[in-house]
C-alpha cells in the first residue's frame, strides 16, 4: 500500500493517516512533522526551512526531496508507506516517481481529502496543539484532554497565514490533482464529514 495523501492544509489528511497507521501499521511519512522536528532540533535543514514555514510558503524542493528520499530508504517502508505533505508540486511528483521507480515501489493511489476552503479557515484558526504530546484539539480545550499538558496555537494557524497557505496550495499544489488524475491514480473523498465516516470511505476506495 504505497499512498500519497492530497488535500489542502487542515483538510484532515493527518487524521486519516493516523487511522490507517493504527489499523494497518503502515509508516506515515509526514513532511510537516519531519520539518518541525528539524526546526525544533535547530539543524541546518531546520533553520533553512523555518523562514519559509513561518511565512506560510513552500519549503524548496531540494530540501524536501532530500528528506523524503532518505526516509524511503528505511526498512519499515518496504511493505508500504503513506506520504503526507509530499509531493506538493508537479515537479516534486515527477521526482518522487523517479525515486520510487529506482526502488521498484510505484504508487498504488493518490488519495485526495477534499474540503471547502472556508471550512478549512474556520477549522485551522480554532485548532490548538498540546506542547507535550502533540494532541490536536480546539480552542475549547484549555488543557490537553489526553495528557493534561498546555494547549497552544501554532504560529502558522493564524487567519492571515492560513489564507496564504491555502492560496499557495491552490496555485502550486492543486495541479497535482490533475497530474495524478492523468496517471489514473486519483481517488477523491469528501472530507467535510465525521472522520470515521470519511475513513470508511477511504478504506473502501483503497480496497482495504
Binding residues for AMP, by number, are 31, 36, 57-59, 85-88, 92, 154, 165
Catalytic: which of 40, 154, 171, 181? 154
Binding positions: 10-15, 31, 36, 57-59, 85-88, 92, 127, 130, 133, 144, 147, 154, 165, 193
d(CA 69, CA 175): 22
Binding positions for Zn(2+): 130, 133, 144, 147
Backbone angles phi, psi at 115, to 5 degrees: -140, 140
105 is catalytic: no
163 is catalytic: no
71 is catalytic: no
By DSSP bridging, strand 2-6 and strand 151-152 are unpaired
Provide the Cα torsion 53, 118, 90, 155; round to 10°: 10
Burial class (CB in 10 A: 0-12, 13-18, 19+), 25: exposed
88 is catalytic: yes
Catalytic: which of 19, 40, 79, 88? 88
122 is catalytic: no
The answer to whether the CB of 2 falls within 8 A of the CB of 56 is no
Binding positions for ATP: 10-15, 127, 193
> Active-site residue numbers?
13, 88, 127, 154, 165
Amino acid at each position: 500500500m504505497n499512498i500519497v495523501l492530497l488535500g489542502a492544509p487542515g483538510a484532515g489528511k493527518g487524521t486519516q493517516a493516523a487511522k490507517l497507521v493504527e489499523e494497518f501499521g503502515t509508516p506515515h511519512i509526514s513532511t510537516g512533522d519531519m520539518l518541525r522536528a528539524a526546526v525544533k532540533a535547530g539543524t541546518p535543514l531546520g533553520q533553512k526551512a523555518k523562514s519559509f514555514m513561518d511565512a506560510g510558503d513552500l519549503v524548496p524542493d531540494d530540501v524536501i526531496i532530500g528528506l523524503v528520499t532518505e526516509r524511503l530508504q528505511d526498512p519499515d517502508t518496504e511493505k508500504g508507506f503513506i506520504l503526507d505533505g509530499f509531493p506538493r508540486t508537479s515537479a516534486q511528483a515527477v521526482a518522487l516517481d523517479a525515486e520510487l521507480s529506482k526502488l521498484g515501489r510505484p504508487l498504488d493511489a493518490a488519495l485526495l481529502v477534499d474540503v471547502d476552503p472556508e471550512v478549512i479557515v474556520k477549522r485551522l484558526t480554532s485548532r490548538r496543539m498540546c506542547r507535550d504530546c502533540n494532541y490536536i484539539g480546539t480552542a475549547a480545550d484549555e488543557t490537553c484532554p489526553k495528557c493534561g499538558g498546555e494547549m497552544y496555537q501554532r504560529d502558522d494557524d493564524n487567519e492571515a497565514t492560513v489564507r496564504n497557505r491555502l492560496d499557495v496550495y491552490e496555485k502550486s499544489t492543486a495541479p497535482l490533482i490533475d497530474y495524478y488524475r492523468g496517471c489514473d491514480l486519483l481517488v477523491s473523498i469528501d472530507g467535510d464529514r465525521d472522520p470515521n465516516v470519511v475513513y470508511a470511505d477511504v478504506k473502501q476506495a483503497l480496497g482495504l
